[in-house]
Structure 1
Amino acid sequence: MKNDIYLRRSRKVIVMQEQHTLPDTYLATALKNISALGFTFSPALMAALRTLSIFSFVKWHKKLTKSLKKLVGAHVQYCPMYPNFPQQVMEASEAELYLEALFHYLTEELPALTPDKREPLVDQIELKVIELGDEEDFRQMMRKLIEANTSISETDKADLAWTIEHEEQVEKLLPAVIPQKEQIGFVAAALLRCGKTDAALIRPYFKTATDVLRLAVALSDGDVSLAASTPFRKFKRAERRLLLELLEQCSDITEDMLRYRERWIRLGEILHPSEYKQRFASCHAAFDVLRNNKPFETFNRNVEEALRYFDTDRAVEHLLERPGEFARRLDHLLRLEGNDFDWVVSFFDSVADRVATPVLLQVMAHFKHRQQANELRLFFPKGNVAKAFALPDSRFPIPSDACESVVNICENILLVRFAKQPDMGKVFIDERLQHYMVPFSQRSASKALRTLVRGSKLSMPAGDTIRFFLWWKEGKVEGKETGRTDIDLSAALYDEKWNYMEHISYTNLKSEKYVAMHSGDIVAAPKGACEFIDLYIPSIVAYGGRYVVTTLHAFTGQVFCDLPECFAGWMMRQYPQSGEVFDPATVVDRIDLASNTQISIPVVLDLKERTVIWCDLALTRNPNYYNNIESHQTGVVAMGKAMTAMAKPNLYDLFRLHALARGELVERAEEAQTVFSPQHGITPFDVEAIMASFLAS
Structure 2
Amino acid sequence: MNQALFLRRRSKVHVPMGTGGATRAQVASAVREVTAFRCVLSEPLIEQIGLLSATELKYWLREIVGVLRRETGAHVHHRPFYPDFPEQVLTASEAELYLNAVRHYLTLRRLPPTDHPRPAMLEGNFISRVIEPGSISEFESLLEPLVSSRTSLSEEETADVVWFIRNYKSDVFRLLPETVPFREIRAQVGGALILHVAGDARVDAFLERNVETATDVLRLAVALTGGDVSLTTASTRFTAMKRSMRRLLLRLLDHIPNAAEDVMRHAERWKRLAEVLHPGDYADKYPRALAAITAARRNEAPDSFGSRVETLLAQRHIATLTPILQGHPGEFARRLDATLRRATEPESVLDAFEAVATQVSSPVLLQLLAQVRAPRPLPLRAFTPKGAFAKIYGIKDRREPLAHDVLTRAARICEGALVTRFASLPPLGRCFIDPALREYRVPLAQRASSKSLRTLVRGSRLPMPDTRFIRLFLWWKNGRERTDIDLSAAFFDANFVFKQTVAYYNLKGFGGYHSGDIVDAPEGASEFIDLDLDVLVEKGVRYIVTSINSFTQQPYCDLPECFAGWMARVDVASGEVFEPRSVFDRIDIASNTGICLPFVMDLQERRMIWADLGLTSVPRWNNVQNNLSGVSLMLRALVHTPRPDLETLFDLHVRARGERVTSPQQAQAVFAPDQGITPFDTDLIRSQFL
Write out per-residue CA displacement over residues 355-403 of structure 1, whole angstroms, 9 at most, x where no aligned residue. Answer: 111111111111111x333221111111111122122222111111111
Answer yes or no: is the 8 Å Cα contact 1:17–1:49 preserved in 2.
Answer: no
Of 535, 553, 557, the residue aligned with 1:539 is 535
Give the alignment's TM-score, normalised by structure 2.
Answer: 0.97
Write out per-residue CA displacement over residues 452-510 of structure 1, whole angstroms, 9 at most, x where no aligned residue. Answer: 000000000110111100001114xxxxx2x1111110001111111111110011101
Q: Tell me, in whole angstroms, the C-alpha distance in 2 between the residues paired with 1:265 and 1:113.
A: 59
Structure 1 residue runs of 5 or longer lacking an equivalent are: 476-480
Answer yes or no: is the 8 Å Cα contact 2:118–2:574 preserved in 1.
Answer: yes
Query: 1:459 corresponds to which residue?
Result: 463
Letter in 2 for 1:360: L
**1:114–1:20 distance in 2 versus 1, CA, 3 Å:** closer
Query: 1:178 corresponds to which residue?
Result: 180
Query: 2:340 corresponds to which residue?
Result: 334
Query: 1:4 corresponds to which residue?
Result: 4
Query: 1:164 corresponds to which residue?
Result: 165
Of 301, 310, 320, the residue aligned with 2:307 is 301
Query: 2:599 corresponds to which residue?
Result: 603
Q: Tell me, in whole angstroms, the C-alpha distance in 2 between the residues paired with 1:629 and 1:443.
A: 26
Q: Tell me, in whole angstroms, the C-alpha distance in 1 between the residues paired with 2:517 and 2:115.
A: 18
Answer yes or no: is the 8 Å Cα contact 1:454–1:614 preserved in 2.
Answer: yes
Report the 3-state secondary structure (helix = DSSP H, G, I; strand = E; otherwise coil) of the residue aligned with 2:562: strand
- 1:264 Cα shift? 1.1
Q: Tell me, in whole angstroms, the C-alpha distance in 2 between the residues paired with 1:249 and 1:15.
A: 48
Report the 3-state secondary structure (helix = DSSP H, G, I; strand = E; otherwise coil) of the residue aligned with 1:167: helix
Answer yes or no: is the 8 Å Cα contact 1:428–1:674 preserved in 2.
Answer: yes
1:687 aligns with 2:682: yes
Write out per-residue CA displacement over residues 28-62 of structure 1, whole angstroms, 9 at most, x where no aligned residue. Answer: 11111111121111112112211212111111111
Q: Tell me, in whole angstroms, the C-alpha distance in 2 between the residues paired with 1:205 and 1:500.
A: 51
Q: Could you tell which deviates more after superposition, 437-446 or 225-234? A: 225-234
1:675 aligns with 2:676: no
Query: 2:193 corresponds to which residue?
Result: 191
Please show how residues 529-568 of structure 1 align to structure 2 within 5 Å.
529-568=525-564
Report the 3-state secondary structure (helix = DSSP H, G, I; strand = E; otherwise coil) of the residue aligned with 1:564: coil
Q: Tell me, in whole angstroms, the C-alpha distance in 2 between the residues paired with 1:72 and 1:295.
A: 52
Q: Tell me, in whole angstroms, the C-alpha distance in 2 between the residues paired with 1:3 and 1:523.
A: 36
Identity %: 44
Answer yes or no: is the 8 Å Cα contact 1:621–1:627 preserved in 2.
Answer: no
Letter in 2 for 1:70: R
Letter in 2 for 1:601: L
Answer yes or no: is the 8 Å Cα contact 1:490–1:503 preserved in 2.
Answer: yes
Query: 2:626 corresponds to which residue?
Result: 631
Letter in 2 for 1:548: I
1:343 aligns with 2:345: no
1:469 aligns with 2:511: no
Q: Tell me, in whole angstroms, the C-alpha distance in 1 between the residues paired with 2:297 and 2:85.
A: 65
Q: Tell me, in whole angstroms, the C-alpha distance in 2 between the residues paired with 1:367 and 1:317.
A: 22
Q: Tell me, in whole angstroms, the C-alpha distance in 2 between the residues paired with 1:494 and 1:377.
A: 20
Letter in 2 for 1:247: L
Query: 1:239 corresponds to which residue?
Result: 245
1:145 aligns with 2:149: no
Report the 3-state secondary structure (helix = DSSP H, G, I; strand = E; otherwise coil) of the residue aligned with 1:596: coil
- 1:115 Cα shift? 5.1
Report the 3-state secondary structure (helix = DSSP H, G, I; strand = E; otherwise coil) of the residue aligned with 1:664: strand
1:384 aligns with 2:380: no
Q: Tell me, in whole angstroms, the C-alpha distance in 2 between the residues paired with 1:457 and 1:204.
A: 40
Letter in 1 for 2:447: R
Query: 2:254 corresponds to which residue?
Result: 248
Query: 2:34 corresponds to which residue?
Result: 34
Report the 3-state secondary structure (helix = DSSP H, G, I; strand = E; otherwise coil) of the residue aligned with 2:542: strand
Query: 2:512 corresponds to which residue?
Result: 516
Please show how residues 63-102 of structure 1 align to structure 2 within 5 Å.
63-102=63-102
Letter in 1 for 2:593: T
Letter in 2 for 1:13: V
Q: Could you tell which deviates more after superposition, 35-44 or 65-74? A: 35-44
- 1:113 Cα shift? 5.4
Q: Tell me, in whole angstroms, the C-alpha distance in 2 between the residues paired with 1:438 and 1:416.
A: 19
**1:96–1:267 distance in 2 versus 1, CA, 3 Å:** same
Letter in 2 for 1:673: Q
Answer yes or no: is the 8 Å Cα contact 1:22–1:50 preserved in 2.
Answer: yes
**1:621–1:287 distance in 2 versus 1, CA, 3 Å:** closer
Letter in 1 for 2:296: L
Q: Tell me, in whole angstroms, the C-alpha distance in 2 between the residues paired with 1:575 and 1:292.
A: 69
Query: 1:663 corresponds to which residue?
Result: 658
Query: 1:486 corresponds to which residue?
Result: 484
- 1:10 Cα shift? 1.8
- 1:429 Cα shift? 0.7
Q: Tell me, in whole angstroms, the C-alpha distance in 2 between the residues paired with 1:295 and 1:584.
A: 57
Report the 3-state secondary structure (helix = DSSP H, G, I; strand = E; otherwise coil) of the residue aligned with 1:160: helix
- 1:297 Cα shift? 2.7
Q: Could you tell which deviates more after superposition, 262-271 or 445-454? A: 262-271
How many residues are matched?
Answer: 684
Answer yes or no: is the 8 Å Cα contact 1:83–1:115 preserved in 2.
Answer: no
Q: Tell me, in whole angstroms, the C-alpha distance in 2 between the residues paired with 1:434 and 1:692.
A: 20
Write out per-residue CA displacement over residues 78-112 of structure 1, whole angstroms, 9 at most, x where no aligned residue. Answer: 11111221122111111111111111111101123
- 1:307 Cα shift? 1.8
Q: Tell me, in whole angstroms, the C-alpha distance in 1 between the residues paired with 2:411 and 2:127.
A: 41
1:404 aligns with 2:408: yes
Report the 3-state secondary structure (helix = DSSP H, G, I; strand = E; otherwise coil) of the residue aligned with 2:141: helix
- 1:19 Cα shift? 4.3
Please show how residues 571-650 of structure 1 align to structure 2 within 5 Å.
571-623=567-619, 625-650=620-645
Write out per-residue CA displacement over residues 284-320 of structure 1, whole angstroms, 9 at most, x where no aligned residue. Answer: 2222322233352322222122123221122222111
Answer yes or no: is the 8 Å Cα contact 2:598–2:612 preserved in 1.
Answer: yes
Q: Could you tell which deviates more after superposition, 142-151 or 257-266? A: 257-266
Q: Tell me, in whole angstroms, the C-alpha distance in 1 between the residues paired with 2:286 and 2:88.
A: 74
Q: Tell me, in whole angstroms, the C-alpha distance in 2 between the residues paired with 1:295 and 1:450.
A: 46
- 1:642 Cα shift? 1.0
Q: Tell me, in whole angstroms, the C-alpha distance in 2 between the residues paired with 1:112 and 1:22.
A: 43
Answer yes or no: is the 8 Å Cα contact 1:84–1:116 preserved in 2.
Answer: no
Please show how residues 313-332 of structure 1 align to structure 2 within 5 Å.
313-332=319-338
- 1:21 Cα shift? 4.1
- 1:691 Cα shift? 0.6
Query: 1:360 corresponds to which residue?
Result: 365
- 1:114 Cα shift? 2.2
Query: 2:417 corresponds to which residue?
Result: 413
Q: Could you tell which deviates more after superposition, 52-61 or 114-123? A: 114-123
Structure 2 residue runs of 5 or longer lacking an equivalent are: none
Of 198, 202, 207, the residue aligned with 2:207 is 202
Letter in 2 for 1:161: V
Of 275, 286, 291, the residue aligned with 1:280 is 286
Write out per-residue CA displacement over residues 625-684 of structure 1, whole angstroms, 9 at most, x where no aligned residue. Answer: 200011011000111111112210000100111111111111111111101111111100
Q: Tell me, in whole angstroms, the C-alpha distance in 2 between the residues paired with 1:324 and 1:388.
A: 23
Report the 3-state secondary structure (helix = DSSP H, G, I; strand = E; otherwise coil) of the residue aligned with 2:152: coil
- 1:207 Cα shift? 0.9
Report the 3-state secondary structure (helix = DSSP H, G, I; strand = E; otherwise coil) of the residue aligned with 2:268: helix
Query: 1:478 corresponds to which residue?
Result: none
Answer yes or no: is the 8 Å Cα contact 1:474–1:563 preserved in 2.
Answer: yes
Letter in 2 for 1:667: T
1:271 aligns with 2:267: no
